[in-house]
Amino acid sequence: MRRTIRFVIAGVFAAVVQAAFAAEPPLADVVIVAATPGGVTAAVSAARSGAKVTVVEESNHVGGIIAGGLTNTDIRKHGAVGGLYNEFKRRIVEHYTSIYGADSKQVHVCQAGNRFEAHVAEKVLRDMLAAEKNITLLERYRVVAASVIGRDGVEEAATRGKRIDGAAPESFGPTVKLVSITAEDLTKPGRKTEFRARTFIDCTYEGDLAALAGVPYRVGRESRAAFGEPHAGHIYVRFKDYNPLPGSTGEADAGIQAFCFRFHLTKDKSNFVSVERPPGFNRDDYRHVLSQIAEGKITRFNHVIQLYEMPNGKFEVNSDHPHHDTGVPAESLDLAEENWGWPEAGPAERERIFARYWSHNEGLIWLLQNDPAVPQAIRDEASQWGFPKDEFTDNRHRPHHIYVRQGRRIWGEYTVTQNDAKTVFETGLPTRHADGIAVAEFEFDSHAVRKYDPAYPMLRPGYFFIAHDPFQLPYRSVVPKCVDNLLVPVACSASHVGYQTIRMEPVFMALGEACGIAAAIAHDAKTSVRSVNVPAVQREIVKRGGVILYESQPLVPESLKQ
């Protein structure tokens, strides 16, 4: 009788376990976590190399922040990025051309595919994934665990990576091999699926998989002394000025630059949803804006936010910096400091931060439309704007992604810093890397790290915007310390300053494409991505129209000028 009971209990337990886990997932050579733009290009490039790819995405959207509203592409030298980024742009143009005609305003406004509507960006990226028969996309799956094999050859649950801020330690400890991840189906809580592959690619903005698998990482600002970077640490710099002001100590802290939403607004009443007073609205959040309005320094709606024209009567919104001549606006959509916990936060805390940021951002627009302390002329101008009702249709026409400008940054085999942009004396060009796989060309661009300080009325603490010549990003910067079988193209290895030129979506797309190619080549060669033949990866990137080296007109050192 007791034996029968044991068999019954065992049978019930097995049924429960079977119910908790999904059916066998599709076999994959490469598993990619997050369908951000970098994740899409990683998947497509690997699939076009013959690899079977599974993409695991936590949300029900593809395209990360560019499908969430970042539709004004941050790029200066268009020849510095190619490959799948160029294909994305071409598909954007083809979309508008096919609907409105080659001579249409929509095609003109999209600026060769560099400006687009958020839902169009998502459609194009979904089309790129769907075109590849080797790609399986799984949405609403959250990665919750990882398994690794250590030196002893035993598979076990991964130990979370350690946060190591500042300079590199003498030793990072032993290296393990990532062999599987487990993801929970968010549409069926408690149901989990294990994914095994030769290579995993973490394309999250936060570096979530890397940390879960045991990769050491950093979050805050390094000190000026850590890597010898002129703009590192605690700093005050005016808009488009390179000179740190008094009070800039260069000390390290836990800060990351501010987030905001990059949403769309329109004046088209046929496609118009009114801005509302959001839950949690706090008028005191905007006291410095109200003060500048009272002083007569702010007289227009666009003195507070930036507006970029997109196709079909839409404008993308971004936070603005205090201008160097007026100090306006003291505050905008960026909400500094309150996001510092985001990179390491769990889902519930991120949801709280997300809600707080949206309340702040929509609240600013509502304030400018409705607050009696705002002059009627500004209110009338601001009230012309509303949310386009054909955007974010599953989220009350509000964006589903917050602009995570900076999450974790892994410790990799190479750390990109501000010094990578330094020119070599003899040539006037940045240093070349033998394993270069992409190019960083946008300015070192950090939004505020701390809230506006009236003692520094012409800036926001932590801001800088430093131009440089394009320079190479080495493959080593996406190869993490301590964990094999993993590449990290988005939360890659860089200092706080160094990351501020990498953090542009075209660069993420280039790094993602390179990682997908590397994963496929490593699979065919039956080796790890850490040991992959990098010249073979470089040749394939170039063959597909990618860019691994871009050098502008050489800068002539002053000492060599006649």
326 in the same domain as 417: no
Name the token pair of 483. 């964990």
Residue 481 pLDDT: 98
Same domain, 352 and 414: no
Last residue of a domain, one of 388, 422, 456: 388
314-319 and 305-310 beta bridge pairing: antiparallel
Residues 270, 365: one domain?
A: yes
Q: Are residues 327 and 371 in the same domain?
A: yes
**How far apart (Å, rounded) are the C-alpha atoms in residues 302 and 292?**
14
What pLDDT is recorded for position 45? Answer: 98
Say whether 191 sits in a helix, a strand or coil: coil
Is this structure's pTM higher than 0.75?
A: yes
Structural domain contains residue 459: no
Sheet (strand 135-139) strand order: 135-139, 53-57, 30-33, 199-202, 486-487
H/E element, 273:
strand 272-273
- Sign of the C-alpha dihedral computed for residues 252, 224, 258 and 113 taken in this order: negative
pLDDT at 24: 65
Strands 486-487 and 199-202: parallel
Regarding whether 327 and 423 lie in a shared domain, the answer is no
Whether 113 is covered by a domain: the verdict is yes
In a domain, 497, yes or no: yes
Q: Does 239 map to a domain?
A: no
Burial category of 499 from C-beta neighbours within 10 Å (exposed 0-12, middle 13-18, buried 19 and up): buried
409 strand-pairing partners: 218
pLDDT of residue 451: 97
Does some domain include residue 48?
yes
* Beta-carbon-side half-sphere exposure of residue 245 (alpha carbons within 13 Å): 16
Number of domains in the chain: 2
The answer to whether the peptide bond before residue 329 is cis (omega within 30 degrees of 0) is yes
Q: What's the CA gap between 222 and 59, in Å, rounded?
A: 32
Quote the DSSP letter at residue 240: T
**What 3-state class would DSSP assign to 127?**
helix
Q: Residues with Cβ < 8 Å from 272, sequence gap 6 or more?
A: 266, 386, 387, 388, 389
Contact call for residues 362 and 243 (beta carbons, < 8 A):
no
**C-alpha of 414 from chain center:** 20
pLDDT of the residue at 324? 86
For residue 387, the number of C-alpha atoms closer than 13 Å in the C-beta half-sphere is 23
Are residues 179 and 273 located together in one domain of the fold?
no
Q: Domain with 197 in it: what CATH number?
A: 3.50.50.60
Q: What are phi and psi of 76, to 5 degrees?
A: -105, -55
* Same domain flag for 427 and 379: no
83 and 201 within one domain: yes
The tokens describing 541, both together, are: 């990137």
Cα–chain-centroid distance for residue 16?
38
Answer yes or no: is 188 within a domain. Answer: yes
The secondary element (H helix, E strand) that includes residue 267 is: none
| Cβ atoms < 10 Å from Cβ of 17 | 9
Q: How far apart are CA 359 and CA 43, in angstroms?
A: 35
Listed residue (276, 429, 266, 280) closest to 360, CA to CA: 280
310 and 344 housed in the same domain: yes
User: CA-CA-CA-CA torsion for 409, 349, 71, 282, nearest 10 degrees?
Assistant: -130
* Whether residues 348 and 432 fall in one domain: no
List of the chain residues with pLDDT < 50: 1-22, 554-562
What residues make up the domain containing 343? 264-388
pLDDT at 554: 47
Residues 50 and 181 in one domain: yes
Q: Are 56 and 193 in contact (CB under 8 A)?
A: no
Report CA 443 to chain centroid distance, whole Å: 16
Is there a domain that residue 256 lies in? no
| 377 shares a domain with 484 | no
Residue type for position 153: G
Q: For residue 197, is it within any domain?
A: yes
Structure tokens at 22: 């999904």
Q: Both tokens of residue 489? A: 């193209």
Half-sphere exposure of 147 (CA within 13 A, CB side): 15
pLDDT of residue 424: 77
Q: What is the pLDDT, as a whole number, of residue 10? A: 40
User: Please, how many CA atoms are within 13 Å of residue 168, restricted to the half-sphere of its CB?
Assistant: 17
